[in-house]
Structure 1
Amino acid sequence: MLYPELFKSMEAVRWNMGTDIPWGDYDASKLSDEQAYTVKMNAITEWAALPATEMFLRDNRGDSDFSAFMSVWFFEEQKHSLVLMEYLRRFRPDLAPTEEELHKVRFEFDPAPALETLMLHFCGEIRLNHWYRCAADWHTEPVIQAIYKTIAHDEARHAGAYLRYMKRALTTQGIELAQQARMAFSKIGVLMASAHRSPQAMHPTNLHVNKEMFPNDTIQSKLPSPGWLENWLDNQIRFDKEWEGKVSSRILHNLSLLMENSFNTVQDLNRYRKSLMRGEAVGA
């Protein structure tokens, strides 16, 4: 089981909201209304770990190890929402999310293949790590800068944990499941590493998850300002091609190690995916 080891490693580096955030460094002159509003949107978006956890537990009912790890992931993701809300409660209470605004992002996701969802969230954690690092550079108020850097580190650790479960699928659960995993990981990897070609932000909270509610079936569509994410990325924190390239590089690098192949470009990964579809034996 991976859960006991992952719990211990994450417990060892867990930060304290009361003592590890430099609340006393707050400088009101360095926080604009525009910046503060984006904190609210991210606080609500992070709250979506609640329906995501419900999805993971439902779709991984046969995997108690991974389901147990969700207790750690869920706690830390909800803590991200909480620390952003605490920042607003202390310094911009007029922008603190209401319970109704938070509850709107809790809706049911359609069932999906567990391996594809695992890969999607692995990529999502990498992307979120880079988004938050970029956001910390954009903000000018020291406390929110520290918060974004802190939660960015958590997202990187979460990606590492998901990667452990991806490796488990390739090495310990039989040839058939390993082949299914390679197909799932390469398919989603091509999608998530090609975000520069898509007009929408490629993150789990911005993807459609409920056919009956379409097109209002993304987390972002449930926010008070449904179009805020693209504006935040393109016009505020300016998550440009250079940043996007860093995300793609991390995805490709990790998949190269995981599947014992060399994926320097998305095209390399796509060729690998097509070889799997043809039934060729690829990788270890």
Structure 2
Amino acid sequence: MLYPELFKSLEKARWNMQQDIPWDQFDRSKVTAEQLQTIKMNAITEWSALPATEMFLRDNRHDSDFSAFMSVWFYEEQKHALVLMEYLERFAPEYVPTEEELHNVRFDFDPAPALETLMLHFCGEVRLTQWYKRAAEWHTEPVIKFIYELLSKDEARHGGAYLKYMRRAIEHFGDEARLAFSKLGVLMANTKVAKALHPTNLHVKEAEFPRDTVQSRLPDPGWLERWLDLQINFDKEWEQKVVNGIMRNLSSLFGLPLQTAKDLSRYRKSLMDKLGQREPTEGATA
């Protein structure tokens, strides 16, 4: 089992919201209304770990090890929402999300293949690591800069934990797992389409389309794109860091020198040939 050791390693790295955050260094002159609004949106987005956890537990009933790990992941992700809300409660209470706004991002996700979902969330953690690094640079107020740096490090550790479960999946399922991971990897590492692709920005409930993404249920559904493009300026250089992180880890996972999405696409096609699978035709279900 991976859960016991992952619990120990994440427990050692865990920070205390009351003792480890330098609340006394808050400088009101260095935070703007625009920045406070983005903190609120991030807090609500982090709260969506609740429906994601419900999805993981439902779709991984066969895997008690991974399901147990969800107890740690869920706790730490909800703690991210809480520390952002604590910041607002202390310094700008008018921006604290309401219970209704938080509950609005809790909805059922359609069932999905467990291996592909695992890969999707691994990529999401790699992306969030860089988003929060950039957010820490963009913010000017010392306490929130410190908080975003903490969150970035947490997301990096979560990505490492997901990678361990991906490695275990390859041991158990071989090329089936490799194909699932490479399929999602091609999508997430393609710089032409990958921008802003994250679990909270993908459609997850067909019956409620188009209001079936976490972002579409925020008080400001268009916030994410503005945050990335106009506020933290998550440009091509930063996007490449996301792609590099995905490719570097997949290279290690597959034991192959993969540098670009094209490399990964060729590898995926070789796996499909090996397994006797064909590309879905246009309009068909993959």
Partners of 1:247 and 1:200 in 2: CA distance: 10
**Alpha-carbon offset, residue 200 of structure 1:** 5.7
SS in structure 2 opposite 1:217?
coil
Question: Could you tell me which amino acid in structure 1 is paired with residue 130 of structure 2?
Answer: H
Question: Could you tell me which amino acid in structure 1 is paired with residue 61 of structure 2?
Answer: R
Q: Residues 188 and 197 of structure 2 are in contact (CA less than 8 Å); yes or no, is this contact kept in structure 1?
A: yes
For 1:114-193, list aligned pairs within 5 A.
114-171=114-171, 173=172, 177-193=173-189
User: 2:241 corresponds to which residue?
Assistant: 246
**Alpha-carbon offset, residue 199 of structure 1:** 7.8
Partners of 2:57 and 2:138 in 1: CA distance: 36
User: 1:198 corresponds to which residue?
Assistant: 193
SS in structure 2 opposite 1:279?
helix
CA gap of 1:56–1:81, structure 2 versus 1, over 3 A, is same
1:118-175 Cα offsets, whole Å, 9 max, x none, are 000000000000000000000000000000000110000000000000000112x2xx
Q: Residues 195 and 239 of structure 2 are in contact (CA less than 8 Å); yes or no, is this contact kept in structure 1?
A: no
SS in structure 2 opposite 1:102?
helix
**TM-score normalised by L of structure 1:** 0.96
Partners of 2:112 and 2:204 in 1: CA distance: 9
Question: Could you tell me which amino acid in structure 1 is paired with residue 95 of structure 2?
Answer: L
Out of 225, 230, 237, which is 1:230 matched to? Answer: 225
Question: Could you tell me which amino acid in structure 1 is paired with residue 231 of structure 2?
Answer: Q
Question: Could you tell me which amino acid in structure 1 is paired with residue 273 of structure 2?
Answer: R
SS in structure 2 opposite 1:18?
coil
CA gap of 1:280–1:108, structure 2 versus 1, over 3 A, is closer
Q: Residues 187 and 193 of structure 2 are in contact (CA less than 8 Å); yes or no, is this contact kept in structure 1?
A: no
User: 1:61 corresponds to which residue?
Assistant: 61
Partners of 1:264 and 1:164 in 2: CA distance: 21
Q: Which runs of 4+ in 1 moved over 3 A?
A: none
Q: Residues 45 and 200 of structure 2 are in contact (CA less than 8 Å); yes or no, is this contact kept in structure 1?
A: yes
**Alpha-carbon offset, residue 21 of structure 1:** 0.6
User: 2:281 corresponds to which residue?
Assistant: none
Partners of 2:186 and 2:195 in 1: CA distance: 15
Partners of 1:179 and 1:198 in 2: CA distance: 26
Q: Residues 132 and 148 of structure 1 are in contact (CA less than 8 Å); yes or no, is this contact kept in structure 2?
A: yes
User: 1:4 corresponds to which residue?
Assistant: 4
**How many residues end up aligned between the 2 structures?**
276
Q: Residues 88 and 96 of structure 1 are in contact (CA less than 8 Å); yes or no, is this contact kept in structure 2?
A: yes
Partners of 2:169 and 2:78 in 1: CA distance: 27
Task: Give yes or no for the alignment of 1:103 onto 2:98.
Answer: no
Q: Residues 21 and 147 of structure 1 are in contact (CA less than 8 Å); yes or no, is this contact kept in structure 2?
A: yes
Partners of 2:115 and 2:174 in 1: CA distance: 10
**Alpha-carbon offset, residue 198 of structure 1:** 2.3
User: 1:30 corresponds to which residue?
Assistant: 30
Q: Residues 200 and 230 of structure 1 are in contact (CA less than 8 Å); yes or no, is this contact kept in structure 2?
A: no
**Alpha-carbon offset, residue 179 of structure 1:** 1.2
Structure 2: gaps spanning 5 or more residues: 277-286
Structure 1: gaps spanning 5 or more residues: none
Partners of 1:146 and 1:200 in 2: CA distance: 25
User: 1:269 corresponds to which residue?
Assistant: 264
SS in structure 2 opposite 1:78?
helix
CA gap of 1:64–1:264, structure 2 versus 1, over 3 A, is same
User: 2:216 corresponds to which residue?
Assistant: 221
1:68-116 Cα offsets, whole Å, 9 max, x none, are 0000000000000000000000001000000000000000000000000
Q: Percent identity?
A: 68
Partners of 2:67 and 2:129 in 1: CA distance: 23
